[in-house]
Structure 1
Amino acid sequence: MLKRFFLSLFFTTRFYTLMGSMAIFFVVSFFFPSLYMVAQLVTAALLFLLLLDLFFLYVAGKQPLLISRNMAGRFSNGEENDIHLKLKNNYRFPVTVIVLEELPVQFQVRDFRKKVQMKPGEEQDISYTLRPVERGEYNFGKTNAFVRSLLGLAQRHVVGAEETIIKVYPSFAALHNYEFFSFNNRLAELGVHKKRVIGHSMEFDHIKEYTRGDDVRTLNWKATARRGTFMVNNYVEEKSQQVYCVIDKGRAMKMPFNGLSLLDYAINASLVFSNIALQKGDKTGLVTLAAQQVDVLPASGKKTQMNLLLERLYAQETRWEESDYERLSVSLRSLFSQRSLLILFTNFESMTGLQRQLPYLRKLAKYHLLLVVFFENTELKKFTKDNVHTVEDIYRQVIAQKFAYEKKLMVRELTRYGILSLLTTPEQLTLNVVNKYLELKSRSLI
């Protein structure tokens, strides 16, 4: 009991300042003996106030402060996640509470400090947000609170919430946003646009009367003869198509943008895209490529597929080796007998890097509909538009423009061999992939 008392007792800066002042007072009283008695009386008064402060903190309140930490059971990577600390003052007098939160080491925050004033019996809520940029386990330590009375000479250490381990998953917060807007037919507000393309897919739905704007190639002459008015066949998008997100985990995907690696952007986009593809009636799967290892999650249209995707994407990490695209083409050729849409998330920083992998991409495109998604270097793009004044800056800008031009050449090279491509910034990756998928659906390419 006594040990617990001393472990929880801390003196404040005010107490040490007063004690230092008293020491100086005693030094002065050595030269002026008449002040010695005054110094003793002031010291006695200070000790009395300290004992009174300790009585208020420890005797008058056996359960002084209740602290609880409320947050989601899992965090969304790259998004702001809310944490709430609830405090309740059980003292019968006002107190000052200083809260020190032990945040996970991944955030590298060592100065979290909140100071609140609380009335007797009052409850307060301290809210803050955290934005993780890595997937994995995050260990929250204890919530420490230091309680002071009005005297403010001592403070009592109170431990609130205990240690908690939170798992950070791919950005399921964005997934929920897309689900909500899709449910309310408001995807256009997020930047997703459905394109109207003249033509139809191969799945027949029903026959209806001709209205202005219908494709005349869909006229049903037999039904027109029976009804005496123009009738057209109505088609709907084909469903149950296999769609795979192929994620390259090689060193090219380790490049960071705004705190997140390209792999994390690809994972977040794959999660949102897979959910939309499932809502459109297609089957979604996942392929990950690292060095010579190819892991496949078979495509499925079941409701449990999203949970399987989330758990599979949660554990993905980049590797320093270069990915083996030859192994990828051979593996997918043997595993996938049905023509599928393959969305390959990768990155090429030079035309040479693309040329090395182009033969294997052509093999994949021969049997499947291949969409290669790679990234613009936004920092280089900004540099190409800056105003330069020195010869050195001109050289650097020319080099940056060369790299930016090479990205466009890569798109042209892929198009030359009938491979679809999407060059996008990391921030717009999810929107552009979803729009591209809807475009491919409307063009009946899948």
Structure 2
Amino acid sequence: MLFHLAQSATASGVAEEIQWLSGLPWLLLLLLSLPLVVAALYTRVFPTGLWASLLSVSIVLSVLFVFSPQALVVLAMVDGLIFVVTLIDFLLLWWGSGGHRATGIVVSRHIPRTGSLRVPIETTLTLQNQTSMRLIGDFCDDLPEHFTAEPSMHDLDLARGMETIAISQLTAHRRGAFELERCYLRIKSPLRLWQRQITLPIHNRVNIYPDMKQLSDYAMLARTNRLSLIGVRRTRRIGQDSDFERLRDYTRDDNYRHIDWRSTAKRNKLTVRQFQSDQSQRLIFMLDCGRMMTNQRDGYSLLDHALNASLMMAYVALQQGDSVGMICFSDRIHAYIPPRGGASQMNRLLQAGFDQFPRMVESRYDLAFLHLNSRCKRRSLVTLITNVIDEVNSAVIVDYLSNLTGTHLPLGVLLRDREMFDAADAPHNAALAAAAAGGGTEAPHYTETIDDFTMYRAAAAADILLWREEVLTGLRHRGVLSVDAFPDELTAPLVNQYLEVKAKHLL
């Protein structure tokens, strides 16, 4: 009896020992995973797929040990070997790549300080390997928001003491000032069991301006007398052949028929006659940066289109010898450039407007016009570019522009909403589509071809457009010049209006 009890106790003890030993591999596996947790939290060194493959070997042996306890020694040796190998590989990567600060990797960046919207700019990254190991992996440059890079990643295989140069094309899809502050590297360990993510600080600033290609296009077309290709009309200047003002030096864009040959012979330098119609006048742009200008068209906000058209008109005015200024405002004055002439004024206007964006605030027209009256006493062509969507907003604009008449020459530029015009034309387009579908037969009645929602939508859009036309008519009756155009087609009407003002001597 006692013998059977002792045998039973021995068997129970063996079973408990086997049950405890069966949990030992999982404990070893947990201990083996601790370096992974520590590495990820404090050193930004992470395991690779090869590390996971080695870990799967330990998992398979641990499962086999449950059915065959005799494999405990083999399992312990395998786990220990994996632990030692991964630890050595981790240390080689950590200390070989420069330790905590990665001091052995030197990076430099060359990038232009300025760029144009949606025009690729070339950036160059130079990496120098001053560490004690060969750097293998990949790296990439910092990419600000609204930027794309081609290529976005670069392969890295750099021996000790060597350097590599990577060239990328950065394209900005938004104007403004942007900071490039870092370079990102991913380095693999010698045995490819670990990879380290390194962030190196390197600071550069790039200013993205509106695409000024339209300015060069205008200059080229003006020289070849082909401005009609971009919608600019030739306007005959009243009195340009009789109202002489002064003599000045000849420039490349002057008409050769205006050369004064007698003065040229006396001065031994080409001299042209300048007429009264070319006298220096003043233009001031008032750009609304409030909520009215937040709508998007072709990936650009209304303010983007307004700024592009304003810069084009400013370029033409500066070429004519006029002075140009600018006020950017929303609920406060964001930028003010006093009216000046000369080529350098174009750079001032670019600097003032390139980082202005529409804000979801109500624009303070009273504050903007008060600033105008306090700073600009001389008669000027004041061009307000904005959008109207409600009666309160339109009434304020009409009142302030009307109050300028007599002191200044006001010009109100109201941007059209293309979706509104398309909605108003929807029934007509739908009827044409139905007629085309019927093989050229007469279009069915509107109630049979167009659903009620489309009709109501078109009626509402037509009513808004009728109200908008009444606002424009009210401006004209009060002596305010007006331009009514779609945002993406604003440049030519605005330049034509300016040339008409110059031709008729309205200033």
TM-score (norm 2): 0.64
Say which SS state the counterpart of residue 306 (structure 2) adopts: helix
25-34 vs 280-289, which moves further: 25-34
**Mapped pair 1:174 → 2:211:** yes
Residue 384 and residue 31 in structure 1: after superposition, are their counterparts in 2 closer, same or farther (change >3 A)?
farther
Q: How does 1:41-440 map to 2 (within 5 A)?
A: 43=79, 46=82, 50=86, 53-54=89-90, 57=93, 66-74=106-114, 79-80=118-119, 82=121, 84=123, 86-88=125-127, 90=129, 95-99=136-140, 103-104=143-144, 107=146, 114=153, 116=155, 118=157, 123-125=164-166, 127-131=168-172, 133=174, 135=176, 138-148=178-188, 151-164=191-204, 166=205, 168=207, 171=209, 173-175=210-212, 177-185=213-221, 192-202=230-240, 203-204=243-244, 237-257=277-297, 260-290=300-330, 297-313=337-353, 318=359, 320-325=361-366, 332=372, 336-350=376-390, 353-384=393-424, 390-440=451-501
TM-score (norm 1): 0.71
What's the CA shift for 1:19?
A: 1.4
Distance 1:64 1:333 in 2: 61
- Paired letter, 2:164: E
What's the CA shift for 1:147?
A: 1.2
Distance 1:395 1:284 in 2: 45
Say which SS state the counterpart of residue 160 (structure 1) adopts: strand
Contact map agreement 1:246 1:289 (CA 8 A) in 2: yes
What's the CA shift for 1:98?
A: 4.6
Say which SS state the counterpart of residue 197 (structure 2) adopts: strand
Which one has more relative contact order, counting CA pairs under 8 Å at least 6 apart? 1
- Paired letter, 1:95: I
* Stretches of structure 2 lacking an aligned partner (at least 5 in a row): 1-38, 247-272, 431-448
Q: Percent identity?
A: 22
What's the CA shift for 1:411?
A: 3.4
What's the CA shift for 1:242?
A: 0.9
Distance 2:501 2:304 in 1: 25
259-268 vs 369-378, which moves further: 259-268
Contact map agreement 2:280 2:322 (CA 8 A) in 1: yes
Deviation digits for residues 260-286 of structure 1, max 9, x if unmatched? 543444344434432332222111112
Distance 1:163 1:372 in 2: 43
Distance 1:108 1:182 in 2: 28
53-62 vs 11-20, which moves further: 53-62
Say which SS state the counterpart of residue 123 (structure 1) adopts: strand
- Paired letter, 1:195: R
Residue 56 and residue 366 in structure 1: after superposition, are their counterparts in 2 closer, same or farther (change >3 A)?
same
Higher alpha-carbon Rg: 2
- Paired letter, 2:196: R
Q: For this pair of structures, how many residues does the alignment match?
A: 406
What's the CA shift for 1:234?
A: 9.5
Distance 1:248 1:393 in 2: 33
Deviation digits for residues 337-393 of structure 1, max 9, x if unmatched? 543222111211246643444243233233433221111113333444555853223
More helix by share: 2
186-195 vs 358-367, which moves further: 186-195
What's the CA shift for 1:306?
A: 3.4
Deviation digits for residues 31-53 of structure 1, max 9, x if unmatched? 24576666566556655654674
RMSD: 4.4
Deviation digits for residues 60-108 of structure 1, max 9, x if unmatched? 66677543333333565x5456463525474886822154x5555x559
